[in-house]
Amino acid sequence: EPEVTQTPSHQVTQMGQEVILRCVPISNHLYFYWYRQILGQKVEFLVSFYNNEISEKSEIFDDQFSVERPDGSNFTLKIRSTKLEDSAMYFCASQVEETQYFGPGTRLLVL
Amino acid sequence: KNQVEQSPQSLIILEGKNCTLQCNYTVSPFSNLRWYKQDTGRGPVSLTIMTFSENTKSNGRYTATLDADTKQSSLHITASQLSDSASYICVVSFNFGNEKLTFGTGTRLTIIP
């Protein structure tokens, strides 16, 4: 069964560094999403992406964040200058019809 | 502000027993309500999706109900198994098409032998 995959599974970075989180959505899906989950808290919507552009973004998704689909398969989330509070699990999801399928997540730790 | 509240926060039951998890939401306008299962350190997995016109939806031992008038939903798990131990998250969407999901805080369910 097709799955959403994410790399890396874990990333440790220094505050102020740039990180790129990668996702490969399920191939025939058209809508893509990034979510984050701070340890012990609920999942929070970051951004949705459709037709090669951002459809909607939350207040969390500020100028430090960007997304792109560089090659028609990968879907990336870039954090330009990481802060301590960016430490979280980041989930990518892709959607067909009503169902969103989540990847296994990337655990980001900012030191 | 759109909110999704769940109760109880955590629940421990014996293997084989049934349980019911509750969800209240204030999301408006409402598109659909989903229940997800999230194992520790993993991404959420969809269990059920209901639109405002549906009252109940089943997926194996999972049965979700929805009362759109009172903005309440429940997830009933029958004959629980050890593998049911996970967080169960109520998620409400208020967009149509490109869906922005609002997640509840989840109920942490533990099944003990």
Instruction: Give the DSSP H or E segment for B56.
Output: strand B56-59
Per-residue pLDDT in tens (0 to 9) along chain B, 113 residues: 668 999 999 999 999 999 999 999 987 777 789 999 999 888 999 999 998 889 999 999 999 999 988 999 999 999 999 999 999 999 998 765 556 788 999 999 999 99
DSSP B41-72: TS--EEEEEEETT-SEEEETTEEEEEETTTTE
Ramachandran angles phi, psi of B84, nearest 5°:
-75, -10
d(CA A30, CA B75): 29
- C-alpha B12/C-alpha B51 separation (Å) is 30
Choosing among B100, B105, B108, which should be mutated to test the A contact, i.e. which has the most A CBs within 10 A?
Answer: B100
φ, ψ at B81 (rounded to 5°): -120, 160
Exposure string over B10-48, b if 16+ CB within 10 A, otherwise e: ebebeeeeebebebebebeebbbbbbbbbeeebbbebbb
Please report residues of B whose CB lies closer than 8 A to that of A103: 43
Structure confidence at residue B52 (pLDDT): 83
B96 in A contact zone (CB under 8 Å)? no
Buried b (16+ CB within 10 A) or exposed e, A70-82: eeeeebbbebeeb
The B residues from 16 to 55 touching A (CB cutoff 8 Å) are: 32, 41-46, 49
